[in-house]
Structure 1
Amino acid sequence: MSDTETPKPAEGQKPPYQVLARKYRPQNFEDLLGHDAMVRTLRNAFASGRIAHAWILTGVRGVGKTTTARIMARALNYETEDGIDVPTIDMDRQGIHCQAIAESRHPDVIEMDAASRTGVGDIRELIESVRYAPVQARYKVYIIDEVHMLSNSAFNALLKTLEEPPPHVKFIFATTEIRKLPVTVLSRCQRFDLRRFDQDTLADYLQGICEKENAVVERDGLLMIARAAEGSVRDALSLLDQAIIQHATSGGETVTAGDVQDMLGLADRATSWEMLDAAMTGDAAEALRLFRRQYDAGADPVVILRDMLELVHLLTRVKAAGDEAASHGSAGTAEAAQAKGMAERFPMAGLTRAWSLLMKGLQETQVAPDPAAAGEMTLIRLCYAADLPTPDEAVRMLTEGKVSGGAAPAGPGAGMQGASANGGGNSGGGARAVSGGAMRQDPQPSGAPKAGLRSQPKLEAANQTRLSSLKDLVALCSQNRDARLRHEIENFVRIVKFEPGVIDFHPADGAPRNLAGRIAAKLKDWTGERWTVSINTRETGEDTLRHDRDSVVYAHPLFIAAREAFPEIPDENVRIKAIAEVRGEHVEGADGALDEEE
C-alpha cells in the first residue's frame, strides 16, 4: 500500500539518523517492557469481544503512554491482506494500517495534543467529527495526549460523547497528572497505570540496545544512566545515545562509568558513601575534602547533597525494616550490601536527624548565591549535629548531671567549644556543649535557680530506677500497680537483648499484638526515657520469667508432696502461690506470685 509505506531515501543517499528513543520505540505488545498486567487485560478483552470505548493511560514521563496508545490503535484496526480482519493484540506481522498508524499519518487515528488545544472550541470540533464513519479502518481512534491540560468547559463538552460514543469510535487518553482529571471523566474510562522501571530492569534493557548498536558501555555506567532517568525509558535511551556518541569516532572504545559520570555531572557514588560516613562520624575535615574533590571534578553541589539524601534514606529503610528493605529501593546489589553494614553503625535518631539537616541544606543550596559554600555549611552542620542527643535525652542528662553526648567531630574542628545545646546563646548558665560533644553543667551561684529546668517526679523516679534486666522491669510494673502488664511480661516476653534504652524480645504464644508498643509507652511514662522495644522473630530468646519461676516451684519438695497427695486434680486447675514463707525459706523466682489469677 503506497499510502502506508515509509518514504525511502534516494539511491546512494544515506538515510537520516534516528535517535535511539525513536528507533527502538515498541511496535507491538510483545515489545512493551514491564506492562504485563495491562497486556493481559487487553488480551482477555479482545479475545472475549468486551472492548471498552475509552481508556486512560497514566504514568511518569517516558514510560510509553503515547507509544502504548498507538499500539492499541493498531490492534483495534489490525487487518492483513490474507484475511485477518478482527481486533487482536497478536500482531505477528505488519498489517495494512500499521505503518501509517505508527507514523501518525492515518486518517482514522487522530492524535490531539491537549497542551496546545485546550479550549472548548477544539473539543467541539472533535465532537462534530465523531459522528462520521471511519474512512479506511475499522474504528476511528482519538488519542488525546496530556488530557489533563483541557479546560473545565472542554471536559464538560466532552462528557456526553465520552459516555455514549458511536460504536465506531474509541478514545485513548494519556496523562502524567491523573489527579487533575475530573472524576466524571475517570468514571467513564478504563484506567491503566504504567509503572516506572527499576534500575536493574532498565540497565538490562539498555544493555540489549548496546548490543544491537555494537556499542560497549560498562555496567556501572548503565546503572548511572538508569538512575538519572528516574524510571523513564525515553530519558534513559536519550542519555545512552549521548554516551555512545562520545566514542563514536574513536574506534568503538568502551564507554566507562567515569565517562558517563562526567557526561551527567554526577557525584561519584563511592565518594558519596565515604563522605556520608565521614559526616556521620564527625570527621569534618575529611567530609569537606571529599566534597571539594567532587565539586572540582564538576559535580553540582545540589546533586551531591541529593545523592547523600538518597543514601541516608536507604540506610534508614534498612534500619527500620531490615536488610530486605535495601533490595526494594533504588540501590543495586553492591549498594544494598554496603547499606546493610553501615546501617548497623548509626542509631535511628542520628539518621533521621541527618535527613532533616540535608533536606534543609538542599533547599538552601538551591537558592544560595554560592552553592558550594552552602553545601559545605550543610556538611559542617551534619558533622557537629548528627549525633547530638534528642531533646528528651538532653533534658534527662541535664537533670541527672551526666557527662555524655554525641561523637566529637574529628580533625582541626574538634577543639571548638561554647556551642549552645539548643543552637543559640546561653548567657544564663545551665548546660552547654563543649569539646567532644559532651554536656557539662556551668557553675552557678549558690541558691540560684537552674534556668529552664523544673523538678519532675517521673524523672526523679527514673534516677532511682536502673533497669538492667527483665526482673527490674517486672518490679517497676508492681511499683506502678500495673498488674496486667506485669502478668503479660512474665508470661509472654522471651528476652533476646536487654540493654539500657533497648529491649529486644521474642513473643511467646498468645502474646498481645500491641505488647511492644505498650511496654515502650509505659517505660517512657515511668522513667522519662525513650526506650526502643522491638520484636525479634528470628531468635527465640530466653525462657519467660513465669517458666523460670514455675520450674523452681515445681522442683520444690512441698509442691512434689502436694501433687502426690492430690493426684486427681488436673494440671489446669493448679494455681501457684508463693510457698517460700511456709518454711521460712527463700525460693528464688517464687516471690511475687500471680495474685491477679487467684
Structure 2
Amino acid sequence: MTDAIDAASSNEPGFAGFDPAPAPQPASAAAPTPYRVLARKYRPAHFGDLIGQEAMVRTLTNAFAAGRIPQAWMLTGVRGVGKTTTARILARALNYQTPDGQGAPTTDLSEFGVHCREIIEGRHIDVMEIDAASNNGVENIRQINDAVRYAPVSARYKVYIVDEVHMLSTGAFNAFLKTLEEPPPHAKFIFATTEIRKVPITVLSRCQRFDLRRVEADVLVEHLAGICRAEGVDAEQEALAAVARAAEGSVRDSLSILDQAIAHAAGRITLDEIRSMLGLADRARVIDLFESVMKGDIAAALGELRAQYDAGADPVVVLNDLAEFTHLVTRLKLVPEAVKDNSLAQAERVRGGDFAQRLSIRVLARTWQMLLKGIAEVKQADRPVMAAEMVLVRLAHAADLPTPDEALKMLRDGMGAVPAGNGGGNGGGMPRPPSGGGSTALAARPILASANPAPVPVARVAAAPAAIVASIEDVVALASQNRDITLKIALERDVRPVRFEPGRIEFSLAEGASRTLAQDLSRRLKEWTGQTWMVAVVNDEGGATLREQAAAAKDQRESDAAAHPSVKAVLERFPGARIVDVRDPRAIAAAENAASVPNEDEYLPDAEPLFDDAEPDFDGIDF
C-alpha cells in the first residue's frame, strides 16, 4: 500500500509527502523494504512541500527569478520547522539541471533533475553537510577553506550546509570570516541554527537571514490529516488537534507523535488514545478545573486535579493546559472573532466565550501570572502533585478577592461592606478565604457590571469636613492628603516655625531650602482651603523643624524605654542587644482609629495574609 502511494506521488507536483525513493521492483526480486518513520518518509522535496513558511518561499522565489542569489544564507528557528530540509531544497535549486544538460538555478522543482535525488538524500559529492556540533574546531574550518577553492565535480555549485552553526568555537568563526565574505563563484554556504543569538554578528552580517516560523496549529492539523489519508489511517480531528498542540509548531515533532500514535492505537486514532499516550488532561476536564478555580471552590478543584492525576495526567501538563485555556479566554475577550478558529474544540468555543464575557481582564491577567510562577515551582518540586495543589489553592484564594480598582469603586459608591462573592460578609471589610460556595470571580463580575445595582446597606455616610489648619502639622497633613509629597518633605525638613495664626504663617528656612517655598505654600493653601494665606520668610531664628522634633522625640522614647526595668533586665540578660524601635502608644491608637474609618482618598489595606509572619511586640518595643 505504501509503495503504491510513493510511486504515484512521484508524478504529482506539490504533494506534501513526496517520497524520493526508487520505484519498487517486482515482488519476486524485491528485498523487504525497511520501515521509515513518517518524518523521513514525508520530508519535503521542493518548496511547494514546505508548509507554514510562505514568506521565506516567496522571497527565495523572487530572488532566484531576478538572479539575486547571495553567497550565504542563515536559517534559524526552533527544532523541526524545516531548517535542514530547506537547506537541501536550496542546494537542489542551485544545482538544478535537466537530463539534456539544460537548466539554471530555479525554485520550480516539481520535476527531478540530474542531481536532485542525490541532494535530497544527502549523498551528493558537491553538497557537503557538516555537523558543527562535532566539527567545531579551527582545523575543521581550515579544511573547508582549503577545499572550497576547487571547482565542483559534477554540479554547478559546491554547497556547504553547516548544521547547528552556533556550536562553532570563536576561533572557528574567525577562521570562516574571509572565505564567507569573498567565496569563489562556484561556492555557496547555508547555515542552520536554533540559537541565533550565539552566532557572531560578523558572521550574520555576511549572510542573508531567514527566520522559519512555528507552523500554525490549523495548518499542522491539515498536514497531519493529509498524511493519515495517504497512510490509510483513520484519525479523529480532535486527536490530530491534540497532536498539533503537543508539537508546539514543530512539524517533525508532530510526525513523530503521529507515528507513535499509529502504533499505540493499532487502529482508529482517538482523542482518548492521544491523551493516554502523552499523559494529557481531558480538555473538557481542564475547563471544569478552570471553572472551579475561578469560583473559588477549592474542594472541587483539588478533587478534579487528583482525579486527572490518578488517570495518568502530569501535574505540569495540567497547569500548562490551564494556562493555555486562560490565554484562550483572554484572547476571546479581546478578539471575539478568534472563536471562529477551526483548531478550537466545541467546548473551547462555547465555554471559553462564556468565561470571556464573565471574567475581567485583570482577573485573567492575575491568573496567568500566578500560573506561570506556579508551573516553575511544580517543575522543581519533589512532589509535583502536591505543589500543583498548592498552586490551585492560591488561585482559588485570589479568585475570591476584588481587584484594587473594584474595591475602590465600591467604597466611592458608598458601599460600606464588600458584597458576598467578592470577599465581603466577614464584618471587617477584608476579603474572606474561599469557602467552596462558588460565589467569587465568576459571580462578582455581573454584580459590578450591572447598570442598576441593588441598594447596598451603607455602613457609614458622613459629609467630608472642611479642612482645619491650625498648626504647621496640619499643613503637612493637608499636603500628604493631597499627595503633594515634594511640599510635604520640604515642610518637614526645611521650615523652622516662627509665627502661626489663621491666614498667616511666618517661618525661617533651614540651610539648603528652596527660596520659592513661601510662594509655593501660599498658592497650594489657597487651592486646598479656598482662602488667601500670607506666607512670609523672616530672619528670626525659628524653632526646630518637624523632622528634628520627630528625631528628638524618638531619642526621648528610646531613653525612657532604656530606663524601664523590664527593658533593663532584657539588655542585661542579652549582651549586645539594642533597642531599634519604640512605638508611641498614642500614635498606634490614632492609626487604629483612622484605619477604622474608610476614606475614599486613601489606599485600601492589603488583603489579609494566609499566615501572619509579624513578630510579637514586647511592651510596644521591638528588639
Cross-structure match for 2:274 = 260
Q: Does residue 1:110 correspond to 2:91, yes or no?
A: no
Cross-structure match for 1:219 = 237
Preserved contact between residue 19 and residue 241 of structure 1 (Cα < 8 Å): yes
Residues in 2 aligned to 1:185 and 1:406: alpha-carbon distance in whole angstroms: 63
Tell me by how many angstroms 1:218 deviates: 0.5
Q: Provide closer, same or farther for how the CA distance between residues 378 and 224 of structure 1 changes in structure 2, counting only shifts above 3 A.
A: same
Q: Does residue 1:380 correspond to 2:379, yes or no?
A: no
Report the residue type matching 1:259 in the other structure: E
Unaligned runs of 5+ in 2: 1-19, 445-476, 484-526, 529-599, 605-623
Cross-structure match for 1:360 = 373
Alignment of 1:294-313 (within 5 A): 294-313=308-327
Tell me by how many angstroms 1:25 deviates: 0.3
**Secondary structure class of the residue paired with 1:144:** strand
Tell me by how many angstroms 1:386 deviates: 1.8
Q: Which moved more, 1:344-353 or 1:100-109?
A: 344-353
Residues in 1 aligned to 2:381 and 2:53: alpha-carbon distance in whole angstroms: 42
Preserved contact between residue 388 and residue 406 of structure 1 (Cα < 8 Å): no
Q: Provide closer, same or farther for how the CA distance between residues 431 and 231 of structure 1 changes in structure 2, counting only shifts above 3 A.
A: closer
Unaligned runs of 5+ in 1: 419-428, 439-453, 460-478, 481-525, 531-598
Q: Provide closer, same or farther for how the CA distance between residues 121 and 336 of structure 1 changes in structure 2, counting only shifts above 3 A.
A: farther
Preserved contact between residue 143 and residue 173 of structure 1 (Cα < 8 Å): yes
Residues in 2 aligned to 1:351 and 1:19: alpha-carbon distance in whole angstroms: 42
Tell me by how many angstroms 1:246 deviates: 2.3
Report the residue type matching 1:382 in the other structure: L
Preserved contact between residue 417 and residue 429 of structure 2 (Cα < 8 Å): no
Deviations 1:58-103 (A, max 9, x none): 1111111100100110111111212323111112322111121112
Q: Does residue 1:232 correspond to 2:250, yes or no?
A: yes
Q: Provide closer, same or farther for how the CA distance between residues 125 and 191 of structure 1 changes in structure 2, counting only shifts above 3 A.
A: same
Q: Provide closer, same or farther for how the CA distance between residues 361 and 335 of structure 1 changes in structure 2, counting only shifts above 3 A.
A: same
For the aligned residue pairs, the C-alpha RMSD in angstroms reads 3.5
Tell me by how many angstroms 1:233 deviates: 0.5
Q: Does residue 1:90 correspond to 2:146, yes or no?
A: no
Residues in 2 aligned to 1:102 and 1:215: alpha-carbon distance in whole angstroms: 27
Residues in 2 aligned to 1:30 and 1:386: alpha-carbon distance in whole angstroms: 50
Preserved contact between residue 98 and residue 114 of structure 2 (Cα < 8 Å): yes
Q: Which has the larger radius of gyration?
A: 2
Deviations 1:352-400 (A, max 9, x none): 2222222222122112221111111211221122231345666887898
Preserved contact between residue 98 and residue 113 of structure 2 (Cα < 8 Å): yes
Among 85, 94, 100, which residue is 1:67 paired with?
A: 85
Percent of residue pairs identical: 54
Preserved contact between residue 400 and residue 432 of structure 2 (Cα < 8 Å): no
Tell me by how many angstroms 1:123 deviates: 0.9
Residues in 1 aligned to 2:62 and 2:299: alpha-carbon distance in whole angstroms: 63
Q: Provide closer, same or farther for how the CA distance between residues 352 and 311 of structure 1 changes in structure 2, counting only shifts above 3 A.
A: same
**Secondary structure class of the residue paired with 1:433:** coil
Cross-structure match for 1:124 = 142
Cross-structure match for 2:562 = none
Q: Which moved more, 1:385-394 or 1:232-241?
A: 385-394
Deviations 1:542-564 (A, max 9, x none): xxxxxxxxxxxxxxxxxxxxxxx
Residues in 2 aligned to 1:192 and 1:167: alpha-carbon distance in whole angstroms: 22
Residues in 2 aligned to 1:201 and 1:137: alpha-carbon distance in whole angstroms: 35
Among 221, 228, 233, which residue is 1:203 paired with?
A: 221
May I ask how many residue pairs the two structures share in their alignment?
A: 431
**Secondary structure class of the residue paired with 2:365:** helix
Residues in 2 aligned to 1:185 and 1:98: alpha-carbon distance in whole angstroms: 29
Report the residue type matching 2:65 in the other structure: A
Cross-structure match for 2:16 = none
Residues in 1 aligned to 2:211 and 2:112: alpha-carbon distance in whole angstroms: 28
Cross-structure match for 1:343 = 356
Residues in 2 aligned to 1:329 and 1:53: alpha-carbon distance in whole angstroms: 41
Q: Provide closer, same or farther for how the CA distance between residues 431 and 384 of structure 1 changes in structure 2, counting only shifts above 3 A.
A: closer
Preserved contact between residue 218 and residue 342 of structure 2 (Cα < 8 Å): no
Q: Provide closer, same or farther for how the CA distance between residues 77 and 244 of structure 1 changes in structure 2, counting only shifts above 3 A.
A: same
TM-score, normalised via structure 1 length? 0.66
Cross-structure match for 2:466 = none
Tell me by how many angstroms 1:136 deviates: 1.1
Report the residue type matching 1:76 in the other structure: L
Among 57, 73, 82, which residue is 2:75 paired with?
A: 57
Residues in 2 aligned to 1:5 and 1:143: alpha-carbon distance in whole angstroms: 22
Residues in 1 aligned to 2:434 and 2:73: alpha-carbon distance in whole angstroms: 65
**Secondary structure class of the residue paired with 1:173:** strand
TM-score, normalised via structure 2 length? 0.63
